[in-house]
Structure 1
Amino acid sequence: MKELDDWLQALADEVGFDPADVDVEAVLDLAGDAAHHVVRPAAPLTTYVAGYVIGLAAARGEEGTPRATEVLDRIAAFARAWGPTTA
């Protein structure tokens, strides 16, 4: 998606990160899982929380810190498992 790639590059230029570090498909999949298995407004909230958790882990710099993909996968699985008995 050219427009999405252009937007990611513009964001990277604006705030200073490497767009190659962003797994766009994983983030979009996570948003979809949250929207479909929880409630639509959970999509932006869930992706924000994932980024926050990844940022905290990176800032701590502790050994054994989870990688971004591990955090995204764990939160996506949690969202997919969400249901009336989970809430």
Structure 2
Amino acid sequence: MNLHDWIDEVCDLLDIEAEADEALLADLAEVAVDNVHASAGPVTAFLLGVAAGGGETDPERIEAMAARVQALAEAWDRPAGAVDETDEDPEADELVDATAPDSVTEADEESLV
């Protein structure tokens, strides 16, 4: 199965009719990852999809939107992978805290011995 087949299957599964320019999305995602953040690629592609309006937008308009977003990513002033304390995600931190054990019980200590 190739990428185009995957896209067709996902569209069928989600019961949507959409065309995706795989090369456009891959290029945009790569620029976002390289210039913004490791997670910026899929998030940017998603946001472009939301802006496209579920396939009702013509391909030229989607390409123009992608070009504007790509220009923003290329001009981003922070190199990829740079840690920025404002990027902290309190919800993610809460999730990690919620899944971590609160304390080690005596039974846990005995099983470690």
TM-score (norm 1): 0.72
Residues 18-42 of structure 1, C-alpha deviations (whole Å, 9 max, x = no match): 4xx3111001101001000111111
Partner of 1:63: none
Aligned pairs, how many?
74
- Root-mean-square deviation (CA), in Å? 2.1
Query: Where in structure 2 are the equivalents of 1:3-82 lying within 5 Å?
Result: 3-14=2-13, 15-18=15-18, 21-55=19-53, 58=56, 67-82=61-76
User: Once structures 1 and 2 are overlaid, which stretch shifts more, 47-56 or 28-37?
Assistant: 47-56
Q: Which runs of 5+ in 2 are unaligned?
A: 79-113
More helix by share: 1
The percent identity for this pair of structures is 28
Q: Aligned to 1:77, what secondary structure does the other structure show?
A: helix
In 1, the alpha carbon distance for the partners of 2:38 and 2:46 equals 14
In 2, the alpha carbon distance for the partners of 1:4 and 1:80 equals 26
Q: Aligned to 1:39, what secondary structure does the other structure show?
A: coil
Structure of higher RCO (CA pairs closer than 8 Å, 6+ residues apart): 1
In 2, the alpha carbon distance for the partners of 1:34 and 1:76 equals 7
Residues 60-82 of structure 1, C-alpha deviations (whole Å, 9 max, x = no match): xxxxxx81111111101111111
| Larger-Rg structure | 2
